[in-house]
Structure 1
Amino acid sequence: VPRLFAQLALARGDGRYARLQRTLGHVQLLILDDWGLEPLNEQARHDLLEILEDRYGRKSTIITSQLPVSAWHGVIGDPTCADAILDRLVHNAHRIELSGDSLHRNLPRKA
């Protein structure tokens, strides 16, 4: 997710923004990994809402996060925008909450 917002900011500067947003809206499955690592700024909130609006009811989106959904409102920031984003995410969603130790701890480290 942090890299996605960085790419959108760069695309805004060099004229690729509309094309990148269209691409994100048309991908069959969009996976937003590591959601909530840092709070969203105003532009990231706007970008996310636009992406989700384009995909809503038409394409699939998977979000992975270590934060409970109850904390997402705070990460998004602006209450009105957070309500709109979460409405598009939570409506028609299937939630899978995992518990237990992280599998990353059991992976061999690369030298």
Structure 2
Amino acid sequence: MSVVTQARVVEHLQRLRLGYLAERLDAALAEAARSEPTYLDFLDQLLQQETAAKQRKRIAMGIQIAHFPTVKTLDDFDFKFQASIDQRLVRELATGRFISQAENVLIFGPPGVGKTHLAIGLGRAAVESGHSVLFTSATALIGALAKSETEGQLAERLTFYSKPKLLIIDELGYLPFERRSAHLFFQLVARRYERGGTLITTNQLVTQWGTVFGDEVLAAAILDRLLHHSYTLMVQGESYRLRQKKKAGLLGQSSRREA
């Protein structure tokens, strides 16, 4: 291949937005010269490489947009340690079908048992499946909604939180909501109802949500929409953080000092 022809091929690849192939054309040609594939096999290899590169780029961008607080995957989750979790249901949720059906997931459990890990893992799986995802803590969400209301931009902020196919709200119930905050949360839930999937982690059972939101009627209205099309996961067991402290002997040392 002449230099002029190669430059023209690279230009065509760039115009077609086949950037990965444009960057590694020399390497692809050198490899083809050694293995001498058929024209069809060579084209098949090139298209597979470009498709894989675009998929990696899309996933990386989706993860960045999601704003996950840490890097967690479902493969990293210790299901043996938290044997109470329905692993089959988790794997089903990881397919993302619940998102396509605009269904919700509620993960209940005490602090430290892996609820956030599961939420991030399911969120990453959703990104890999092609869904848009946004992760936020409950306190950050309410803070953003309250600020936008004060600035006269509540509609825009509600639209922002309504756009992702999956919205993950972490740590609901750790702090009680003020009455106005509870109403803002209801507006978001009502707007996403049957339009997008919502995943919530919480340390409070549904029977305690009236206390969380400071209003039994409002809590019932929120739960009615969240539970209508939903899956629930109950996580019971020891805290991961306490287990690590026990392994390190920190709890024992503390107990001896206090004694």
Overall identity of the aligned pairs, in %: 31
**d(CA) in 2 for partners of 1:90 and 1:77?**
19
One-letter code of the match for 1:69? V
1:54 aligns with one of 167, 184, 191: 191
> Which residue matches 1:71?
208
Distance 2:195 2:202 in 1: 23
Please say which of residues 90-99 and 8-17 is displaced more in the overlay. 8-17
1:34 and 2:171 are equivalent in the alignment: yes
- Partners of 2:152 and 2:187 in 1: how far apart? 17
How far does residue 24 in structure 1 lie from its aligned partner after superposition?
A: 1.0
Partner of 2:233: 96
Deviation per CA, 1:63-111: give whole Å up to 9, x if none.
Answer: 101222221122112122111111011111100001111223439xxxx
Shift in alpha-carbon separation, 1:15–1:76, aligned structure 2, 3 A: same
- 1:82 is matched with 219
Residue of structure 2 equivalent to 1:14? 151
User: For 1:36 and 1:48, how far apart are their aligned partners in 2?
Assistant: 12
Work out the CA distance in 1 between the residues paired with 2:199 and 2:241: 20
What one-letter code is carried by the residue in structure 2 that aligns with 1:6? G
**Amino acid paired to 2:161:** L
Between the aligned partners of 2:207 and 2:215, the Cα distance in structure 1 is: 15
- AA in 2 matched with 1:89: L
> Partners of 1:37 and 1:12 in 2: how far apart?
23
Cα distance in 2 for residues equivalent to 1:26 and 1:2: 19
Q: Which has the higher contact order (CA 8 A, sep 6+)?
A: 1
CA RMSD of aligned residues (A): 1.6
Q: Does structure 1 retain, via aligned residues, the 8 Å contact 2:209–2:216? A: no
Between Structure 1 and Structure 2, how many residues are aligned? 107
SS at match of 1:23: helix
Q: Which runs of 5+ in 2 are unaligned?
A: 1-137, 246-259
> Unaligned 5+ residue runs, structure 1?
none
**Alpha-carbon distance in 2 for matches of 1:73, 1:63:** 16
User: Secondary structure at the residue paired with 1:95?
Assistant: strand
Q: Which structure is larger by alpha-carbon Rg, 1 or 2?
A: 2
Return the letter of the residue paired with 2:181.
A
